[in-house]
Amino acid sequence: MTAEFQVPSPLVPTRENYFVRYCKQHSDGSWAVVDVSLDSLRPNLISRTRRRPSGCLIQELPNGYSKVTWIEHMEVDDRSVHTMYKPLVHSGLAFGAKRWVSTLERQCERLASSMASNIPASDLSVITSPEGRKSMLKLAERMVMSFCTGVGASTAHAWTTMSSTGSDDVRVMTRKSMDDPGRPPGIVLSAATSFWIPVAPKRVFDFLRDENSRSEVKCLGFGLVVDFMNVANVLEKQTEPPGPTWNCSSCVRFTSKLTVLS
């Protein structure tokens, strides 16, 4: 297998690895998925990373649950990583086991939400059918994949720096969109920048997901927004009442001609 691991930022180089994957079920019912690097078989390849034996162990637990243990072994030359992103990379949330477990957990939440039958009344809004909820979640997943494709540092698409002011660099990229279902053919223009905000991450996240803050955020892209209506809301994860909602997909109508999925 050949894989290119990315972070949604052009300031973090991708990691390309060539490896073989072996899956085996043990006598106790547990599954092992192991990746072994074959980069040494490509002597002409110049790479800043080398993936050592890595993988996960999946064990069955009572009540239909699973215990997943993930291990990532990497040799990395991270000198080309922007200073702003080094803490993220070093924490394991960018390429490490923490990211894989988080991604797996998020996908399981999405599948559980799409198959849920006990939907809270506050979550019904105008989409009441299971098929409608599944369609909205699939569209949201496509949107996230499209976003990550547009801001990643894939070697297939080159970024151009528009300004040189250190951490406030603005980079742009153009790519062709052809034979992509649901998207018209043409040229896709992406722009990305990174900057520091002297506010705790959770406060920024709460602000962006707060319905009362949507008009303040959306007016930056759509002009002055006087009013909006949340026409659909699909929860993906919620702690036990009265806990907060963390992950959800929302469909918001700003005008009769403008509806935004977030």
DSSP letters for 182-201: TS-SEEEEEEE-----SS-H
pLDDT higher for 241 or 19? 19
Q: What is the pLDDT of residue 31?
A: 96
Q: How far is CA 99 from CA 6, 92, 103, 175, 183, in A?
A: 11, 7, 6, 27, 29
Q: What is the pLDDT of residue 118?
A: 66
Rounded-to-integer distance, Cα 250 and Cα 248, Å: 6
pTM: 0.71
Of 47, 82, 79, the residue nearest 171 (C-alpha): 82
Rounded-to-integer distance, Cα 106 and Cα 65, Å: 15
Q: What is the pLDDT of residue 59?
A: 95
Return the biggest CA–CA distance within the chain.
63
pLDDT at residue 88 tops 70:
yes
Which residue type, as a one-letter code, is found at position 93? L
Categorize the per-residue pLDDT at 222 as very low, low, confident or very high, splitting at 50, 70 and 90: low
Rounded-to-integer distance, Cα 128 and Cα 19, Å: 45
Helices (H), the chain: 86-91, 97-115, 130-151, 201-209, 214-222
Which residues are within 8 A (CB) of 149 and not within 5 positions of it... i.e. 6 or more apart? none
Categorize the per-residue pLDDT at 117 as very low, low, confident or very high, splitting at 50, 70 and 90: low
- pLDDT (mean) for 200-217: 76
Q: Please state whether beta strands 258-261 and 31-37 pair in parallel, antiparallel, or not at all (unpaired).
A: unpaired
Q: What is the pLDDT of residue 171?
A: 81
Q: What is the pLDDT of residue 217?
A: 60
| Residues found in the chain | 262
